[in-house]
C-alpha cells in the first residue's frame, strides 16, 4: 500500500500497488506494478497503514463496473498484522452479510436484547408518516433537497425536518460505502440511517423494511422516511432482472403499516437507452406490477425556463406526462398489462423552477446518477426532488389523514 486518501465513518480510501495484473485486463490496464484505488471498511478489516500488504478483492474493478470502481480490502496479507479484535461479548445476535467471510454481528433495533424491543413489538403503524420510495441510491440527496426546498419556501426551518434513510440491500451492503449518506449525516440533512435486510452499518439495524420503517418512526422519531437501495443498482436489461424492483415492495410495506407511500419516479432526459428515457421502465414495472397498494406519484411540471434547458426540452416533458398516465389509469379491459397498475396510483403535479436547481446544487456530497451530474441530466434530480416536495406537504399537520390510510387490496 502506498498511501491513504479520504476517509469517512466506517471507511477509508487507499492507493495500492498491484503485485499482479488484474484478471481479464489488457497490458495497458491494471498491470503488475500499477496502482489502483482501494477501499477498507475499518470496522471489519482495520485501517491499513503505508507499507502494509493487503489482500484485495478486485472482481468488480476488473470488470469495469461503475460502482465497483474500488479494489476492496479483504484483510491484511503480511505476517504479523491482524484484523480488528473480535467485539467484546454483549447484546445483539443479528448477523448480516450472513455466512460470508466478512459477516458481522450487530444489535438489531427489533431483536429481544434491544432496549427498543418492547416499543417495536407493539408497533404496527407509521401513523400516516410519508414514505418516499426510490429506485436508485442517487435519488436520496435529491429527495432530501426537495424536502428542504419545500420547507424554505413555506417559511419553516429545514433543520426542523427529521428524515430517516432506510437502506435496502439491492445494492451495496455496507452503509459505509455511501459517501452520500456520510455527507448527509455530517451536514444534518439526515436524522438517522437504518440498515435493513443484509445491509449493515447504519445508526440503527433492522431485520426487514417493515421494522426499519417502524424504527424510523417510533425509535428515531422521524417525520419522513426515504427508502432506496444502497449504491450499485444491478440491472440486466430485462423487465424483472434489476434490483430496483424492490421499490414496489417498499410501497407495499409503507401502505401495510399505514404510512403514506410516495413513489419517486426514475427519470432521465440524457440516458442513451430508450427504455430509461423519460420515465424508466424500472419505475413502470415496480409501480405497476409489483406495488399492490396505491401511492402518490409526484410528476414535475417544469417552468418554461427550466424546460428550455438544452438537457431538458419540451418533448421530454410530454414523454414523461404520457408515461405517467399509465400509472394512474387501468386500460379498462380488466386485464393486467405490463403498464397497468394493480391499483391505480394518484398523479400529483409538482411545479418546478430554476430555484429548485439552486437548492439541488447545495446537496452535501454533490449529485450524480449513472455518471451524469445535475447539469447533464437535471430531469433526473428534479423528479426525485418533486417527491421530496410532495412528502413535505403530506407531513404538515393539516394534511394528516383523519383515519388510517388504505393498505393492500384484498
pLDDT (average), residues 208-222: 98
When mean pLDDT is compared across 174-178, 221-225, 404-408, the lowest value belongs to 404-408
The pLDDT of residue 248 is above 80: yes
pLDDT in tens, 85-139: 766 778 888 999 988 878 888 999 999 999 999 999 999 999 999 999 999 999 9
- Using DSSP bridges, classify how beta strands 278-279 and 296-302 pair: parallel, antiparallel or unpaired: unpaired
Long-range contacts of 330-337 (CB under 8 A, 24+ apart): 336/289
pLDDT attached to residue 392:
97
Residue 73 has pLDDT above 70, yes or no: yes
Q: What's the start-to-end Cα distance of the chain, in Å?
A: 58
**Among 71, 15, 12, 14, residue whose Cα is nearest residue 42:** 12
Q: Which three cell numbers stand for residue 73?
A: 480490502
Q: Is the pLDDT of residue 406 over 60?
A: no
Q: Locate 402 and state its grid cell.
A: 383523519
Question: What average pLDDT does the segment 198-214 reach?
Answer: 97
407 falls in which pLDDT band (50, 70, 90)? very low
Query: What is the pLDDT confidence band of residue 215, given thresholds at 50, 70 and 90?
Result: very high
Find, among 191, 129, 131, 182, the residue nearest to 160 by Cα. 191
**Would you state the pLDDT for residue 401?**
65
pLDDT, one tens digit per residue, over 43-58 is 888 888 888 889 988 8
Buried b (16+ CB within 10 A) or exposed e, 251-260: bbbbbbbbbb
Residues 6+ apart with CB under 8 A from 177: 11, 39, 41, 230, 231, 232
Cα gap 66→368, rounded to integer Å: 12
Lowest mean pLDDT among 139-143, 155-159, 176-180, 374-378: 155-159
Amino acid at each position: 500500500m502506498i498511501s491513504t486518501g479520504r476517509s469517512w465513518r466506517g471507511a477509508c480510501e487507499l492507493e495500492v500497488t498491484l503485485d499482479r495484473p488484474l484478471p481479464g485486463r489488457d497490458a495497458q490496464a491494471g498491470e503488475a506494478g500499477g496502482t489502483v484505488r482501494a477501499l477498507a471498511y475499518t470496522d471489519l478489516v482495520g485501517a491499513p497503514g503505508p507499507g502494509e500488504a493487503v489482500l484485495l478483492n478486485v472482481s468488480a474493478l476488473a470488470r469495469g463496473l461503475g460502482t465497483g470502481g474500488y479494489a476492496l480490502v479483504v484483510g491484511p496479507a503480511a505476517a504479523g498484522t491482524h484484523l480488528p479484535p473480535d467485539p467484546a461479548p454483549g447484546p445483539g445476535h443479528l448477523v448480516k452479510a450472513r455466512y460470508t467471510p466478512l459477516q458481522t454481528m450487530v444489535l438489531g433495533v427489533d431483536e429481544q436484547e434491544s432496549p427498543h424491543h418492547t416499543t417495536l413489538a407493539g408497533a404496527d403503524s407509521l401513523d400516516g408518516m410519508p414514505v418516499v420510495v426510490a429506485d436508485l441510491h442517487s435519488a436520496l440527496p435529491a429527495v432530501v433537497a426537495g424536502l428542504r426546498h419545500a420547507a424554505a419556501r413555506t417559511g419553516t426551518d429545514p433543520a426542523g425536518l427529521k428524515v430517516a434513510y432506510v437502506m435496502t440491500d439491492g445494492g451495496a451492503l455496507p452503509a459505509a460505502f455511501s459517501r452520500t449518506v456520510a455527507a448527509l449525516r455530517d451536514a444534518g440533512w439526515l436524522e438517522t440511517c437504518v440498515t435493513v435486510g443484509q445491509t449493515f452499518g447504519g445508526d440503527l439495524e433492522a431485520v426487514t423494511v417493515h421494522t426499519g420503517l417502524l424504527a424510523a418512526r417510533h425509535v428515531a422519531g422521524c417525520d419522513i422516511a426515504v427508502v432506496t437501495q444502497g449504491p450499485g443498482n444491478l440491472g440486466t436489461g430485462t423487465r424483472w432482472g434489476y434490483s430496483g424492483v424492490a421499490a414496489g415492495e417498499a410501497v407495499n410495506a409503507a401502505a401495510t403499516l399505514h404510512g403514506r407511500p410516495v413513489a419517486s419516479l426514475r427519470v432521465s432526459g440524457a440516458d442513451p437507452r430508450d427504455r430509461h428515457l423519460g420515465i424508466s421502465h424500472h419505475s413502470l414495472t415496480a409501480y405497476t406490477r409489483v406495488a399492490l397498494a396505491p401511492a402518490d406519484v409526484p410528476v414535475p411540471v417544469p417552468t418554461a425556463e427550466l424546460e428550455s434547458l438544452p438537457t431538458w426540452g419540451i418533448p421530454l416533458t410530454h414523454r414523461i406526462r404520457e408515461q405517467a398516465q399509465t400509472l394512474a389509469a387501468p386500460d379498462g379491459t380488466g386485464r393486467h398489462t405490463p403498464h397497468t397498475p394493480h391499483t391505480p396510483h394518484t398523479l400529483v403535479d409538482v411545479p418546478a423552477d430554476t430555484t429548485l436547481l439552486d437548492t439541488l446544487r447545495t446537496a452535501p456530497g454533490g449529485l450524480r446518477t449513472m455518471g451524469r451530474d445535475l447539469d447533464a441530466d437535471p430531469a433526473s434530480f428534479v423528479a426525485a426532488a418533486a417527491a421530496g416536495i410532495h412528502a413535505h406537504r403530506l407531513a404538515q399537520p393539516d394534511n394528516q389523514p383523519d383515519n388510517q390510510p388504505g393498505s393492500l387490496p384484498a
